Amino acid sequence: MLKLGVNIDHVATLREARYRGRLAGEPCPVEAARISEAAGAHGITAHLREDRRHMQDRDIWKLREIVKTRLNLEMANTPEIVALALKLKPEIVCLVPERRQEVTTEGGLDVVANEKALTETCKKMRDAGIEVSLFIAPDAKQIEASARTGAQFIELHTGSFAEAFSKAESGKRKAETELERLITGAEQAHALGLKVNAGHGLNYENLPAMRRVPHLVELNIGHSIISRAVFVGLDKAVREMLALLRGKR
């Protein structure tokens, strides 16, 4: 069965809007992780950015204590964060690009240009018993390079598909093209021995189409679930997304 990783970053984003720089505040991303797991989520995803714009170090360490499923730490490939991850020992890390001006992660890693550095980090993580995923566009050269780094997973960037899907009639042809790219990328990655996750911009409307992408292990979804939770509560929002993963509406 296709698994759901709930990204709780935007719970921290809301907290930091009022309580930035304080040691306490609401809503609590750790409590969001508890509720998501209780609702059936298969894993919890959190991104510790270099600038600490949402998740804070204390959140990450508390998550390591309480997460019972699978903790996925999204992170940049920088010495500080790599060292922290090696101490934290999440089940898996997802290496992503970071740009200071972006609101959320945009675009995938350029593995081709950074293959040596990423390979070194993959080895460090593997030696520590931590799996590695690389967040990349569904591009053949990036997938080939990812397989050479020693990463166990790739996470296919679904942003272009999601953006096209949202444009209704005018975007249908583009959305179909982007979905075919994801299908081709997943097939290529599987053939190279990589496991395949996917995420970015996925929501309750476009998720059913992702069931056409083969070999997917897990979808990581955050903003849409947290947005839905404003109206129906987090427990129900997670359960509704899980129902869609099972093919129910």
Q: Which residues are catalytic?
A: 47, 74, 200
- Produce one character per residue of 182-221: b if its CB has 16 or more CB atoms within 10 Å, e if not: bbbbbebbeeeebbbbbbbbbbbebbebbeebeebebbbb
- 3-state secondary structure labels for all residues of 204-235: CCCHHHHCCCCCEEEEEECHHHHHHHHHHCHH
- Nearest CA to 182 out of 201, 210, 222, 154 is that of 210
Q: Which amino acid is at 110?
A: D
What is the residue whose two structure tokens read 């075919």?
180
2 dihedral zone (left: phi>0; alpha: psi -120 to 50; beta): beta
Question: Exposed/middle/buried for 111, CB within 10 Å: 0-12, 13-18, 19+?
Answer: buried
> Residue 93 gets which letter from DSSP?
E
Coil, strand or helix at 201: coil
How far is Cα 240 from Cα 39, in angstroms, rounded to an integer?
10
